[in-house]
Amino acid sequence: MTDIAVEFDTVTCIFGQKVAVRDLSLRIPVGSTFALVGRNGAGKSTTIRTLLGLIEPTRGASKLLGADSQRLPPEVRARVGYLAEGHPVHRRMTVQEHAGFQARYHAKWHEKTFRAILEAFSIDERAKAIHLSRGQRAIVCLGLTLATRPDLLVLDDPMMGLDPIARRAFLEALVHFSRGEGRTVLFSSHLLADVERVADYLGVLDGGSLRACCTIDTFQKQVRKYILHFDGKPPGLSLFPGLVGVAVRPSELHATVVSNGDTLPPPLRALHPRAVEELPMGLEDSLLAYIGDASVGHFLLHEPHDQEVAS
């Protein structure tokens, strides 16, 4: 029994001239909740679809639950729940008909879980999918997936298109029905506040490359934004390792850095600012600062997963 649920080994996916995913290596420990984030077109769906064996990578390989993605045996497939982008349903089928369909194909189908989710959200099992709201459809799809009791749950942008109340409900259901069973969850999202609430780990994709892979906590601690105040025009700043963004104002220099320490990095200190402020940043600010100005430099924040798995 491996303690790694998902593994990518130097995966590259090229469509024509487009490199959608470049040299991706990544491991996700069993029992963790991992969020893949990045701008539109960063390669999140391609990564997920490659993992599930729906796309064959141009180079490299991936594994889920110990099995090669390109040759998944039926018993491994049965342990994976996949919620595709857009919550696809058969519009003319009722909620209960959807459940019957799933139950037929999943030996571990757990009707009680499905009913508990419907009940928690007051969804009528006799309703046709076409008559459900977007949020209700998302919950039904989540229920249909969770009731198969997957060991690995993969969700592609599951909160997309949901209003804040529906998003909150969806996340609560996800957390309530997923936690405590050793289940691994991999999901992609643009909604950083939601990511912050549920995920343990973060993978940042940018232009197909993995630019960071670490705990959310580490990401937020290490990406820092400083405002350096000067009496006149700020002095020039040369690039240095860890500097990911810089903006010059009439008497200020704004610098975003990746740093392990709590103190101002020496190249910034050497500018002798009159005063220094550190701006508090939420995950969204940190992420925007980190991938916002790719022209300045690329740095990979990386925590070895071996250590994390062991801890």
Among 5, 6, 11, 20, binds ligand ATP (CB under 6 A): 20
- Size of interface with ligand ATP, in residues (CB under 6 A): 11
**Residues in a beta bridge with 248:** 253
Q: 18-29 and 80-83: which strand pairing?
A: unpaired
Interaction of residue 203 with ligand ATP, rule CB under 6 A: no
Cβ distance to ligand ATP smaller for residue 167 or 225: 167
> Given the complex with ligand ATP, which of 38 and 242 has the nearer CB atom?
38
Residue found under tokens 């390989």: 61
**Residue 178 Cβ, how far from ligand ATP at the closest point, in Å?**
22
Complex with ligand ATP: residue 40 or 307, whichever CB lies closer: 40
Tell me whether residue 53 or residue 143 sits nearer to ligand ATP (CB atom).
53
CB of 189 to ligand ATP, least distance (A): 9
Instruction: Tell me whether residue 38 or residue 265 sits nearer to ligand ATP (CB atom).
Output: 38
C-beta closer to ligand ATP: residue 42 or 141: 42
Rounded to whole angstroms, the Cα distance separating 78 from 105 reads 9
Q: Which of 46, 50, 136, 145 binds ligand ATP (CB under 6 A)?
A: 46
Binding piece for ligand ATP, criterion CB under 6 A, among 35-43, 59-67, 99-107, 237-245: 35-43
Using CB under 6 A, pick the residue from 6, 7, 38, 117 that binds ligand ATP: 38
Strand intervals (E) in 45-132: 59-64, 67-68, 80-83
Spatial separation of the C-alpha atoms in residues 262 and 145, rounded to whole Å:
43
Q: State the minimum distance, in angstroms, from the CB of residue 20 to ligand ATP.
A: 3
**Interatomic CA distance for residues 301 and 246, integer angstroms:** 18
Cβ atoms of residues 84 and 36 within 8 Å:
no
Residues 44, 68: Cα–Cα separation, whole Å: 19
> Which of 45, 220, 222, 256 touches ligand ATP (CB under 6 A)?
45
Kindly state whether residue 150 participates in binding ligand ATP, applying the rule CB under 6 A.
no
Among 3, 10, 15, 70, binds ligand ATP (CB under 6 A): 15
Phi, psi for 15 (deg, rounded to 5)? -110, 110
Burial 116-149 (b: 16+ CB within 10 A, else e): bbbeebebeeeeebeebeebbbbbbbbbbbbbbb
Are 225 and 256 in contact by the 8 Å Cβ rule? The answer is yes
Contact between 142 and ligand ATP per CB under 6 A: no
Is 238 near ligand ATP (CB under 6 A)? no
Any contact of residue 41 with ligand ATP (CB under 6 A)?
Answer: yes
* SS3 letters across 17-49: CEEEEEEEEEEEECCCEEEEECCCCCCHHHHHH
Residue 42 as a binder of ligand ATP (CB under 6 A): the answer is yes
Residue 88 binds to ligand ATP (criterion: CB under 6 A) = no
Identify which of 64, 39, 40, 42 has the alpha carbon closest to the alpha carbon of residue 51: 64
Q: Which two tokens stand for residue 103?
A: 């139950």
Cβ 156 to ligand ATP shortest distance, Å: 7
**Which residues are at the interface with ligand ATP (CB under 6 A)?**
15, 18, 20, 38, 40-46
